[in-house]
Amino acid sequence: MRKLVLLFCIIFFLFGLSTFAQTYPLVTVEDIQFQSDSSLLANGDQPSPLNGDTVRVRGTVLVAPLVDPQNDRRVIVWAGAAWNTYIQDENGLVYEMFDGITMRQGDTTGAAQGTFFDLVDTAQVVEFTVVVEEFIETTQGAILVDPVTPVQIISNEPKRPDPIELDISDFYDGQQNVLAEKYEGMYVVVRSGITSDRNVSTGTFRINDGNGNFIYMYDQSGYFTLRGHRLTGLTDYQPPPDGTVLSYIRGVIQTRWGGSAPGYHIIPFYPGDIEISAQPPTISMIRRNLAEVMTNQAVDISASIVDTDGSVDSARLYYRIDGGSFNMIELTSSGGDIYSGTIPGVNSDSALVDYYLWAKDNLGNESKVPPSPDTNPQYFYLVLNRSVTIQDIQYNPFGTDISGYNGYYVTLNGIVTADTSDFPGSGVTAYRIYMQNGTGPWSGIRIGTRGSLSNDVSALAKGDDVSITGYIWDGPISPTFNVTRIDSVSGLTINSQNNPLPDFKVLSTGDIGLAGNGDPTKEQWESVLIKYLNVTVTDENADGPPSNFGEMLVDDNSGETRVELEDGFHSYHNLSDPTRANYIQTGNAFDELGGLLYYSFGNYKLVPRNDNDFVGWVTDVNEENQLPEEFGLFQNHPNPFNPSTIINYNLPVQANVTLKIFNILGQEVKTLLNNEIVPAGEHQVSFNASGLPTGIYIYNLQANDFIQSKKMILLK
């Protein structure tokens, strides 16, 4: 009878959820976005006051999610595989601005398509049911798909709202203006900017006002990108050469305080959202004739220089040695667009030569690549009387995070420090291989698996001493994320096997800290085995809630830094992948945390490879020396749950532990631990029931002679 009553309770609870789904409050965009000036000035950009809430919100669609729902289902505004749009509330008159926000649907498969989000179009006023969440620094609405909740088209406007006229100084006036947060997600236009920092990998650039103020153009739209989400066949976009004068650029504003371009970004959506007034020569395809340069070897530098609205009047190459004064060489063209010049040989071992190119057209418009060569060099090489090493490839003292050998083939030697047993690429784990030469700075590098020798590279094992010939690839976009790799391997020799791995470099968490892309004090440890000692988990979820990207914050009292838990093949998690056994929580501690230093999405982070990189896990710092007095199995939490829950148990002594899950009929449905040796202490195991139906389940613990069972409820 009790089972029957409980079953009715479950059914009633599920019915209640379905009914409640129709009563979410209707709020305005301002309700979600508003922050007072005093709060912004004191605390900076903070999560929405409705963060985590499920609400209904209305606004005018600024960009369609898809090119054509019937004939061309490519997304316009890229957000992974998600559907994405921006809306603006023209009726939000309570506060000044705070009327724009992004809407995103992550699950676009199967029944989730019943939201009909993909059918909305520009200038429609639409009501969305969303969960308010934060992605990095941007507030967004995640379309509710559990249960599937269709969007509602309220009306059709003749056009999208007119953009708000703003100046670059509204966003940056000698420093970032935190009060410009009120424009996040809003449609604006900026006029008469001058471009710089042209990125020929992504299509992004910086927009300057001539007074030191700037914002960035972000390539989220497929019409304005060079990345994989480019709308090929619908756009011929190329980023304007540095020095281009814009008549205007219009789009929505997004804030990004991490990565290599921190600040405010404007996202143009459609062709016509950027108009050029005057364009200087375009300098591209900069190459040197030698990958490795020996002492006294002259180096030929060539580039394509084109002027689309006139002709190239003059072109020059500037170079300097070891940070001295720049020397000028006139470039010559033998016809066509290719210009070249020669840097004389340098009679000095280990000299560093950096260089840039300059051009002027017949109208006097000038361009320079890179645009700030004194402070932001990007093209350089080392003069050596030996073959290059990993350290030479990785070395960059300028903070620009670009290898001097980017785009060239070289041969490197090292010991494999991580293989596909550590990063197998299954589930949420990454697929990576690393090698290292010694233990000092700049000594590690990732090995890519592209090319004809992919299978041979994938078969490498930790401890292999290898010689690899490959292409140095170091770009700002996925899949490199500014992490240098040797890829497209054309030659591979295993010199010996089962060699000892390099020792971990012990660092303080404050040495790496947060953000700081390219900072040589951090960048020197990229792809190197490092470890922290005596760390405490200060935040088990570095990005949420509700977001959780598998990263936590740890601190050894020198400053917080990130640890990435998803990529490696180990048993630890922060609920981003609860199929793993060990749930790390805020307040836990470790005697040691080791792994490889990685960089992605604006942050350096330690990536443990396997369970051996976690040493001395303490789940209760205040009672780390106290062992349980008796065996115990505790009620799971949360309960009811969907789809994951945590099971805690105590062991007063080391024991052989078996933990199994049974359905109400007594049939075994899952084995979490199978006669595994577990040390004395307080322990927890995560159980993920994604593949099981709603119902009552029993979990049974056997530890030596101790046996105990408890019930739990799965509600979907």
Do 606 and 593 meet the contact criterion of CB atoms below 8 Å apart? yes
Average the pLDDT over each of 87-96, 167-176, 484-493, 550-559 and give the range with the smallest value.
87-96
Residues 6+ apart with CB under 8 A from 403: 393, 394, 396, 472, 474, 484
Residue 10 has a pLDDT of 38
Q: How confident is the model at residue 643 (pLDDT cuts 50, 70, 90)?
A: confident
Do 585 and 542 meet the contact criterion of CB atoms below 8 Å apart? no
Residue 198 has pLDDT above 70, yes or no: yes
Residues 6+ apart with CB under 8 A from 371: 196, 197, 198, 242, 243
Helical H segments across 321-474, by residue range: 390-394, 454-458
Residue 13 has pLDDT above 80, yes or no: no
Residue 474 has pLDDT above 90, yes or no: no
Residue 346 has pLDDT above 60, yes or no: yes
Residue 637 has a pLDDT of 84
Residue type, 193: G
Residue 258 has a pLDDT of 63
Q: Residue 92 forms beta bridges with which residues?
A: none
- pLDDT one-digit tens code per residue, 351-372: 999 999 999 999 898 888 887 8
The CA-based angle 200-206-207, given to 5 degrees, is: 135
Residue 92 has a pLDDT of 64
What is the Cα–Cα distance from 263 to 254, expressed in whole angstroms?
Answer: 9
- Quote the tokens at residue 10: 């479950």
More confident residue, 471 or 7: 471
* Residue 400 CA from chain centroid, whole number: 18
3-state secondary structure of 134: strand
Q: What are phi and psi of 640, to 5 degrees?
A: -60, 165
Mean pLDDT of all residues in 4-12: 35
Residue 567 has a pLDDT of 94
* Percentage of the chain lying above the pLDDT 70 cut: 94
Helical H segments across 525-571, by residue range: none
Q: How confident is the model at residue 714 (pLDDT cuts 50, 70, 90)?
A: confident
> What CA–CA distances, in Å, run from 595 to 79, 443, 612?
29, 14, 9
Strands 194-196, 138-143: pairing kind: unpaired
DSSP 344: P
What is the Cα–Cα distance from 499 to 235, expressed in whole angstroms?
Answer: 52
Residue 455 has a pLDDT of 95
- pLDDT one-digit tens code per residue, 268-287: 999 999 999 888 998 989 99
Do 59 and 89 meet the contact criterion of CB atoms below 8 Å apart? yes
Do 280 and 366 meet the contact criterion of CB atoms below 8 Å apart? yes
> What CA–CA distances, in Å, run from 606 to 90, 224, 430, 592, 616?
45, 33, 14, 12, 17
- pLDDT one-digit tens code per residue, 396-444: 999 888 899 999 999 999 999 999 999 999 877 889 999 999 999 999 9
Residue type, 269: F
Query: What number of CA atoms fall less than 13 Å from residue 310's CA on the CB side?
Result: 16
Residue 197 has a pLDDT of 86
What is the Cα–Cα distance from 216 to 251, expressed in whole angstroms?
Answer: 11
Residue 492 has a pLDDT of 97
- pLDDT one-digit tens code per residue, 528-540: 999 999 999 999 9
- Quote the tokens at residue 559: 């400053």
Strands 379-384, 293-294: pairing kind: parallel
What is the Cα–Cα distance from 260 to 559, expressed in whole angstroms?
Answer: 21
Residue 260 has a pLDDT of 67
What is the Cα–Cα distance from 246 to 228, expressed in whole angstroms?
Answer: 26
Average pLDDT in the chain: 89
Tokens 């090929």 appear where? 232
Do 276 and 192 meet the contact criterion of CB atoms below 8 Å apart? no
> What CA–CA distances, in Å, run from 713 to 182, 666, 697?
44, 15, 6
> What CA–CA distances, in Å, run from 623 to 504, 538, 552, 592, 631?
29, 17, 22, 18, 17
- pLDDT one-digit tens code per residue, 40-60: 888 877 888 898 889 999 999
Residue 43 CB neighbours (<10 A): 10
Residue 83 has a pLDDT of 95
Residue 594 has a pLDDT of 97
Q: Which domains does the chain have, with CATH numbers?
A: 16-156 (2.40.50.1010), 164-278 (2.40.50.140), 284-384 (2.60.40.10), 388-625 (2.40.50.140), 632-714 (2.60.40.1930)
Write the burial class of residue 507 (CB in 10 Å: 0-12 exposed, 13-18 middle, 19+ buried): buried
What is the Cα–Cα distance from 78 to 76, expressed in whole angstroms?
Answer: 6
- Quote the tokens at residue 376: 């932001």
Tokens 């676009």 appear where? 108
> What CA–CA distances, in Å, run from 143 to 63, 151, 297, 709?
16, 9, 60, 39
What is the Cα–Cα distance from 260 to 602, expressed in whole angstroms?
Answer: 7
More confident residue, 44 or 118: 118
Residue 59 has a pLDDT of 94
Residue 636 has pLDDT above 90, yes or no: no
What is the Cα–Cα distance from 591 to 532, expressed in whole angstroms?
Answer: 8
**Of 389, 603, 608, the residue nearest 515 (C-alpha):** 603
**Of 107, 96, 83, 249, the residue nearest 182 (C-alpha):** 96
| 629-651 b/e (C-beta count within 10 Å ≥ 16 → b) | eebbbeebeeebbeebbbbbbbb
More confident residue, 51 or 128: 128
Residue 555 CB neighbours (<10 A): 18
| 390-403 b/e (C-beta count within 10 Å ≥ 16 → b) | bbbbbbbebbbbbb
Write the burial class of residue 311 (CB in 10 Å: 0-12 exposed, 13-18 middle, 19+ buried): exposed
What is the Cα–Cα distance from 161 to 143, expressed in whole angstroms?
Answer: 23
Report the run of H or E that residue 31 belongs to, with start and end.
helix 29-33
- pLDDT one-digit tens code per residue, 562-580: 999 999 999 999 988 888 9
Q: pTM of the entire structure?
A: 0.70
Residue 20 has a pLDDT of 37
- pLDDT one-digit tens code per residue, 659-702: 999 998 888 999 888 888 888 888 888 888 877 888 889 999 99
Do 221 and 232 meet the contact criterion of CB atoms below 8 Å apart? no
- pLDDT one-digit tens code per residue, 210-246: 888 999 999 999 999 999 999 999 999 999 988 889 9
